[in-house]
Amino acid sequence: MNDVSRGLGRVIVGVLILTIPLLPVSLRAHNQPTRLLGKIFSEASEASEIRTDRVESLLKQGADPTAQFAGGATAVHHAVRLGHTEAISLFIDKTNRFEIQELRDASDKTALHWAAIYKRAESLAVLEKRSAYRLSYEDRDGFTPSALAELGGDIKLAIALDDAVQLRNYCENYDRGEKIAPPPPSPVVLSLTPVPTPRIEKESASDSEEMSETAAEKTIESKPPYLMYALGGTTIALLVYEAYQHKLFPWQGEEEDGDEDEGI
């Protein structure tokens, strides 16, 4: 009986080990405040839709702003996308600037990448003031925040993101109201991010075709985890073999009785 229990326990543990990593990030265990925080930020289209006092309340209840949801994005990423400067400051206070620097979505984009994509100068100003950024980090396609800004057509922002001093001057100019509002993100840049995108102005047919071709080359294609499947199949086969060795299958006893009868 002990062998049977031990064998069944190993089978159950093996199944859990195989299935948990395959679950989408959004389905993994998060506490209720964390799930709610991720929901309100990922579904919002404007910063004004999210009350700061509500964010403070969820953080006091234990919400984790660095938890990943759909596309690997966190509440920090979406706060940067929305330009919700109060929330960004609260998130840095809740964690620390070093953890904010290292946050990545499913395509390895940091919060600074998102600020460059959505041209959120107000978000950049907070990240710069709190030193919660790294200019040199590249995403999965090898793009730095500066490269994404240049790809989006904002040369001033691209130059600012090339150097910490330039970025500081850029943000100070924005704080003084000297910076002209940037154009909306280009379709090429928007194709590189997994989150909902704001509306953009229509472009000429030739420009659209050229950008579509570039976007197609840069779009990330998801690939099935073949290695995970292979390891999973091997593990299941080993577990079944071990269960057979411990005589966990009901028909094993019948076969042995039949063999004994034939011998008699």
Q: How far apart are CA 201 and CA 196, in angstroms?
A: 16
Which residue, chain included where needed, has tokens 């292979």? 230
- For 53, 105, 112, 227, the CA distances from 230, given in Å and listed in that order, are 48, 26, 36, 5
pLDDT at 216 over 50: no
Homologous superfamily assigned to 31-197+205-218: Ankyrin repeat-containing domain (1.25.40.20)
pLDDT at 172 over 90: no
For residue 11, the model assigns a pLDDT of: 57
For residue 44, the model assigns a pLDDT of: 93
Joined tokens for residue 21:
């990593």
pLDDT tens-digit series, residues 125-161: 999 888 888 899 999 999 999 999 999 998 988 998 9
pLDDT tens-digit series, residues 89-116: 999 999 888 889 899 999 999 999 999 9
pLDDT tens-digit series, residues 6-24: 666 665 656 555 554 444 4
Q: How far apart are CA 154 and CA 151, in angstroms?
A: 8
Beta-carbon count within 10 A of 69 CB: 24
Work out the mean pLDDT of the chain and round it to a whole number: 74
In the chain, where are the structural domains located?
31-197+205-218
Which residue, chain included where needed, has tokens 């019948």? 254
Beta-carbon count within 10 A of 161 CB: 26
For residue 22, the model assigns a pLDDT of: 46
